[in-house]
Structure 1
Amino acid sequence: MSTTTGVKTVTATAAAAAGPSVTWQMWVPCLAMAACSWLSFFHRTILAALAPTILNETGLTAQQFASINAYFFVAYTLGNPLWGSILDYVGLRIGMLLGVAIWTLASVSHGWMTAFVGFAMARALLGIGEGVTFPGGVR
């Protein structure tokens, strides 16, 4: 009888040491990062689908349009290590909120741009803001 009680005690102690069971709140950060990743991929590809409309409405040449895309990808590439350092310094929550705020402002600013320089700056700012996605998701 004491053996059975001892086993129950050990089992209860092991269950208590394992911590709480998985709850839905533990999935919220995963879903938030999945949403950020999806939106980031969407923003990277949507410009190609909108190219004919953008070229017609803004008067940009195909070469200028390609340069705008290049500015985005260069800014995104440089933003990844930059955001990694920022996330280490300010923390994941504040850093991600800052990155998404920059990203949102850059997305909104695309609608106001009618010339090459402004559109290139908006696209580069979008790349910098979206650069938070990968280091934030890994962390």
Structure 2
Amino acid sequence: MVSNKDDKESELNCNDGDGLCELHRPTPNHRSFIIVTITTLILLMGATIPTPLYGIYRNEFALSQISITLIYAAYSVGVVPTLFFFGPLGDAIGRKPLLILAVVISLIGTAIIGIAPGLEWLIIGRLAQGVGIGAVLGNAT
């Protein structure tokens, strides 16, 4: 009777000494995990950093309470649909390019908020941050 080990090796077409069996075994990639975790943490922190600035924006741009609420809502409008769209898209085209795109979108949103001349740009920046965060969370996890 053939042992279990021999059955597994024959299924993988392994021969002693050729090293093919080693190539087919999955290995954990801790570096990738750490990079994705730190990137997700930084992006989530970046999405919450503008919150204390809304008081300054309210005075600077003469914003009403409804305007501040719209800025907050723009983030949610960006995150929720993106979770549904980018999760399956990551399965189809690959997670790495999608995560890179998500980081770029989130950084663009942060830059827009940093140089926003008015309410419309604050909303666009928060929407971009929401899309970026939704794409990261949909694929990083």
TM-score by length of 2: 0.73
The Cα RMSD (Å) is 2.4
Question: Percent same amino acid at aligned positions?
Answer: 17
Structure 1 residue 40 displacement after superposition: 3.1
Partner Cα separation in structure 2 for residue 20 and residue 48 of structure 1: 43
Structure number having the greater helix percentage:
1
1:98 equivalent in alignment to 2:98: no
- For 1:112 and 1:48, locate their aligned partners in 2 and report how far apart those are by CA, in whole Å: 15
Does the 8 Å CA contact 1:60/1:115 hold for their aligned counterparts?
A: no
1:1-53 deviation line (CA, Å, top 9, x unaligned): xxxxxxxxxxxx9xx87x5876xxx2221112212321232133222222222
Match of 2:56 in 1: 53
2:86 to 83, 90, 95: 83
* Cα distance between partner residues in 2 of 1:41 and 1:90: 24
Separation in 2, partners of 1:20, 1:87: 20
**Residues matched between the structures, number:** 121
Runs of at least 4 residues off by over 6 Å: none
Would you say 1:129 and 2:128 are equivalent positions?
no
> Please, what TM-score do these two structures have when normalized by structure 1?
0.74
Structure 2 distance, partners of 1:20, 1:30, is: 15
Q: How much has 1:109 moved relative to structure 2?
A: 1.4
Q: 1:21 to 1:129 in 2, by over 3 A?
A: closer
Runs of 5+ unmatched residues, structure 2: 1-15
Flag the 1:136–1:55 CA change in 2: closer, same or farther, 3 A: same
